[in-house]
A and B are shown apart, each in its own frame.
Chain A
Amino acid sequence: MLNKFSEKLKNKRASSKAEATQDTNVSQASKQSSNTKATQDAELTQDAKISKWQLDKSSVFIKRKRTFTLAFLGVAVLFAGSAIITNYNVIEGFTSIPKVIIWMVQNLVPNEKSWEHLPSILSKLAETALVAIAVTVCAALCSFFFSLLGTRTTKANPLVARVVRVIAAFFRNVPDVVWAILLLFSFGQNVLTGFFALFFATFGLLTRIFIETIDEVSSSCVEAMHATGATTLQTVFQGIVPSSMPSIVSWILYMIETNIRTSTLIGVLTATGIGYAFDTYYKRMDYASASLVVLSIVILVIAIELISNQIRKVIM
């Protein structure tokens, strides 16, 4: 095999040499012709230009090929190096994939026993979904109020606007899981902890998004309404609300989807809802039931996504 490869290489080299000699021949020929036909000088320089341009072009392609080869070799070396360091056996890695699939089919497909858990799983799922929806709606109401103070469009107090933006940034940048862990100390393992953890993260994100939406969508019509002598409250209800509501509703729907997913994870920490159900089945090594939980979550999220897409279509 190695021999064959080297043979090929040799052939390649030979052929490239041949090409090179051909090239020199061509250039010599053109030189000769330029000497003999001095009268058509202009035309010839044109020819020379074109041939030079073609040479440049081919060299660009050669360069690109070289970069590709080097990049490929680099990746290969990195892979080999890391495989050696971590004792990773490539062949074993790939051959284990079918085994994994077999294991998954044997253990993760919901069996008869797991279907008995379905009613309790569904009630937990409903609980989680309702908490996620409640959190999102509460946070959205607060966010809308705060975003009115934070946006440039309403020309509220600039200091207040600044404070609102900083508060929103703080709540947004602490991850929801961290909120949950922090709140566990004060509220213990119950639904309220999860509620507030989700609430803070959602509030921070939605406030920021609402401020940007209002600035983008409503600033021009609010300017006109201010010019007619409308008060700030009037511009909010007659200008900002009607013009920004579709995108705000759209964002709320998106947050409900995200929060159902996140609340599953937070439920593991706070021992509530569907997340806790998954955790218990998993720790009991009742993988069939655990996978039924996962499947039910996936179906719920897809269903909510479909519903919210329909709602978006109607309101846009």
Chain B
Amino acid sequence: MPILEFQDVSKVYDKTTKALTDVSFSVDEGEFVSIIGPSGSGKSTILRCINKLVDATQGSIFFDGHNITTADKKEIRKVRKKTGMIFQHYNLVDRLSVIENVLHGRLGHKATITGAAGIYSEQEKENAFAILDKLGLADQAYKRCDELSGGQKQRVGIARSIMQEPRLILCDEPIASLDPSSSKVIMDHLSDINQSMKITCILNLHQVDVALKYSKRIIGITSGQIVYDGPPETLSKSKIHEIYQSSEGELITDVE
């Protein structure tokens, strides 16, 4: 059974701007999917529809068998508990310590009051340190997040999402602001999480070569519509040009 299913999903912003038009696809448990497409084509909207940061205008989205398009507040919280999210700009609380930011991943599982007061159990704290250790950030645990480098911040973001014990991790341009070596570290961690923990990963990527190397499935999207859905091996050069609506020689991937 697919963990996620989109059925003819459309999203219109402000009654005029069409972001998605009749998008349908399904993702099985444990898949590693990259979504590629030009800026403004609707990649971020797809991810944000899954954890209800954005509400789809039409169609239905099924997560783990439940239709989440009609979900109420309680059900939305349930969905969000099970989906981690990683952002391009890390979206950490910069003035708090690394360990506090990692523990924020538990907020969805806690009662409102204990979460607001920042009271965590010993078990949760131990888990947080174990995850930081695994991501190579054990020494940074008590540092403030604004003292970290970009790659380290993104690893804190990953730690926060693993802390949720999620079924699915959504990555919105996870390496768009990182240098090549930090990018590799982040992508390796993500694919390791996918393989060892069996967590489904859906990534928005601008780097076509990275998408081709790491993912087993690629979804190409152009102005709110899916134009390619399949393994990286069958994604031809002309198809890439169709996704980015460009002609031969206009893409960075064309440079040999």
Binding site for B on A (CB under 8 A): 220-221, 223-231, 233-234, 236-239, 242-243, 245-246
Contact = CB atoms under 8 A, between A and B. Distances in A.
B61 interface: no
Contact of A234 (B51, B79, B115): B115
Interface residues of B, number: 35
B137 to A, nearest CB: 17
Interface string B71-107: 0000001111101110101011111100010001101
A128 to B, nearest CB: 34
B170 to A, nearest CB: 8
Contacts of A227: 51, 53, 80, 83-85
Contacts of B92: 221, 224
A166 B214 CA distance: 52
B118 interface: yes
Contacts of B160: 224, 228
Closest 6 CB pairs of A and B: A229-B108, A224-B91, A229-B80, A230-B107, A237-B116, A227-B85
Given A220-B91, A227-B85, 18 more contacts: A223-B91, A224-B91, A227-B53, A227-B80, A227-B83, A227-B84, A228-B85, A228-B104, A228-B105, A229-B164, A231-B77, A234-B112, A237-B116, A238-B107, A238-B116, A238-B118, A239-B93, A243-B95
A220 B115 contact: no
B94 A238 contact: no
Nearest to B92: A221
A228 B117 CA distance: 17
Nearest to B89: A220
Nearest to B87: A224
Most A CB atoms within 10 A — which of B104, B157, B161?
B104
A286 B157 CA distance: 67
A301 B104 CA distance: 42
Nearest to A236: B116
A242 B116 contact: no
A225 B80 CA distance: 10
Nearest to B96: A242
Contact of B108 (A221, A230, A245, A246): A230
Nearest to A230: B107
B91 A228 contact: no
B117 A229 contact: no
A230 B114 CA distance: 11
A220 B161 CA distance: 15
Nearest to A218: B93
B91 A234 contact: no
Contacts of B157: 224
A237 B104 CA distance: 11
A238 B93 contact: yes
A242 B95 contact: yes
Nearest to B91: A224
A238 B114 CA distance: 11
